[in-house]
Chain A
């Protein structure tokens, strides 16, 4: 394969992997906008959702055939995650609404542990293969370049979801309400917006988005209860680089760090496959030094 072909392939695979990080990063930003906290259980919730999709898919496949079973499994997982996100916000996180930031972080860490434990108990801690693959090994050949079907499906699905979310937030009354809550919850409440309901919706949407990303990832590799621990770390790095208050920034940063990481692994022999994980975090440090609010973030102004 010529060098240019390799480069394009790295780029496309990086875009696909990066879009998974980006989806989780976007979920984290969504929750942060809705409730002002960083949900460290976002990855755990996504994994729980994908296990639900796996189980329902497996139950349905003998009856309705594999394609329909898979689709219904995914739909069920998305609905279950919407509900799960809302319930967790209402019955767990609402209680910490007025707590200190560090207490909220610890609460989401507790949630992560609880969910991981629950998933491990129900589905076991050993890796479970997903029954369906979006062409995990198949690839398209365009001239010299071969691109895996999985990369194309993953990237287009997540980009489509992001477009839908953008329309939801910019073009509907619901989205306007969400933005009002994010901007100033007490004023939004005074204006007659149901803040609590919108916060539940924000958590639900974020959980559903994470679940789709987890299912896409699971269709390539196997599923384990800790599947998303590593991905959460990347998503958080993307959020720090892009800025906690910038959905677009987080997604762009996620794609950027993944592509830079795979390019560094391929072209800088000293880094190679072993140390590529260090690249995104060096970038995090550089960004924190030059622009602590993130590349796309607004500087927080605090009135005393």
Chain B
């Protein structure tokens, strides 16, 4: 077991594994079928959304129950400029504007919401953010000229003026020569997702990550060390909102469509469940959460059992909270601990049992080296 630990925690082994993953991600779409490519890009879209949720929940210890609001707003902020300006004088610039706005608008809204709600200790954030989808949905429907209301906005066939001066229909995210649409969209989604995962990785490893952790474990100690809990909680929530918004942009790249349904309340609940199942206190957990989010409903629909989907999600989240509070990302560590406990006999058992019985998602956040893998 010791040899295994040494290998797994070796820097170069980790770096090598990461490079292998990168190469697989780069080569895969060229050999896989469109369905696989779309599924993986779909997972990447929601992994980014869940990563934002993890920063606010797992790393800072607050619960946001309105994350789908930011995904939905981000999707609108991305698709509306593309709908209105793509094919005009701005050309592909419209996509860049959509990308910037999809991070900026949810970020500003998240900042304003956090500035007010983080003032109350404890549960206020959960109690207020749960209202965001409830407010957002009627607003999106009210301004249907702008948002397309219930029908939503599709940019799969947009008008543009071609080189011949004629008006054509085109998809802003159609592939150039040599690639299929699903491959092209896959590369865009994966590239942006990787960039935001890298940003989050360096964020939580550095000064900010340590500040989040200390705010999470004890606000009084944080204050006494000169780390303002208020400031860092606001910051974490704002970052989460930006990640939600960027996931909205990626959703547009993936499907070229959004509607008010994107920000509906039940998606927020699904995202929270996926985050906890994957492991809210870890970056890998966000990827596992994305896999859970996308594949559970896909599998259930495939088996014609979609009526059981909600029940399955409920059972899984309760089981995870009872048995594996660190989520799937903590599974290897938990297994290692169980094995070690078996080897060491009963002396350490009591301590670990108390540790795991507290049903605490935080137990996994302690070893900072392992958390950031």
What is A's interface to B at a CB cutoff of 8 Å?
Answer: 37-38, 40, 92, 95-96, 98-103, 105-107, 109-118, 120-121, 125, 226, 229-230, 232-233, 236-237, 239-240, 244, 274-275, 277-278, 281, 284-285, 288-289, 292-293, 300, 302, 304
Contacts and interface: CB of A to CB of B under 8 A. Distances in A.
Contact of A98 (B57, B61, B266, B358): B358
Main secondary structure of the interface of B (DSSP, over half): helix
A240 B313 contact: no
Contacts of B269: 109, 112-113
B120 to A, nearest CB: 5
A302 to B, nearest CB: 7
B358 A99 contact: yes
A100 B321 CA distance: 12
Nearest to B142: A274
Nearest to A41: B314
Given A117-B311, A274-B138, A236 B322 contact: no
B358 A111 contact: no
A187 to B, nearest CB: 22
A106 B220 contact: no
B318 A284 contact: no
A121 B307 contact: yes
B325 interface: yes
A114 B142 CA distance: 32
A239 B226 CA distance: 32
B61 A100 contact: yes
Nearest to A116: B310
A113 B269 CA distance: 8
Contacts, number: 152
B116 interface: yes
A106 B307 contact: no
23 contacts: A37-B123, A40-B126, A95-B359, A100-B360, A102-B63, A103-B325, A106-B361, A109-B269, A109-B317, A110-B273, A110-B318, A114-B318, A118-B311, A121-B308, A121-B311, A233-B130, A233-B265, A240-B124, A275-B139, A278-B135, A281-B134, A285-B116, A302-B121
A116 B314 contact: yes
B117 interface: yes
Q: Which has the most chain A C-beta neighbours within 10 Å: B120, B220, B265, B309?
A: B120
B104 interface: no
A92 B322 CA distance: 9
B362 to A, nearest CB: 6
Nearest to A113: B314
Interface residues of B, number: 50
Q: Which has the most chain B C-beta neighbours within 10 Å: A111, A230, A236?
A: A236
Contact of B126 (A38, A111, A288): A38
B360 A233 contact: no
A226 B268 CA distance: 14
Contacts of B272: 106, 109
Interface string B348-364: 00000000001111100
A48 B94 CA distance: 48
Contacts of A302: 121, 220
Nearest to A277: B138
Contacts of A109: 65, 269, 272-273, 317
Contact of A96 (B120, B139, B359): B359
Given A114-B311, A117-B313, A288-B116, A275 B138 contact: yes
B14 interface: no
Nearest to A95: B359
Contacts of B307: 120-121, 125
Nearest to B313: A113
A129 B121 CA distance: 41
Interface in B27-74: 57, 61-63, 65
B343 interface: no
A114 B315 contact: yes
Contact of A102 (B61, B116, B130): B61
B122 interface: yes
Closest 10 CB pairs of A and B: A114-B314, A117-B311, A117-B310, A113-B314, A110-B317, A274-B142, A304-B220, A105-B63, A236-B127, A99-B359
Contact of B317 (A106, A233, A244): A106
B314 A117 contact: yes
Given A237-B127, A240-B127, A277-B135, 14 more contacts: A40-B65, A92-B318, A100-B361, A102-B63, A110-B276, A114-B317, A121-B307, A236-B130, A274-B138, A274-B141, A277-B138, A288-B120, A292-B120, A304-B220
Contacts of A244: 123
Contacts of A100: 61, 360-362
Contacts of A102: 57, 61-63, 126, 361
A96 B362 CA distance: 13
A116 B310 CA distance: 7
A96 B314 contact: no
Contacts of B62: 102
Nearest to A32: B123
B321 A107 contact: yes
Contacts of A230: 134
B22 interface: no
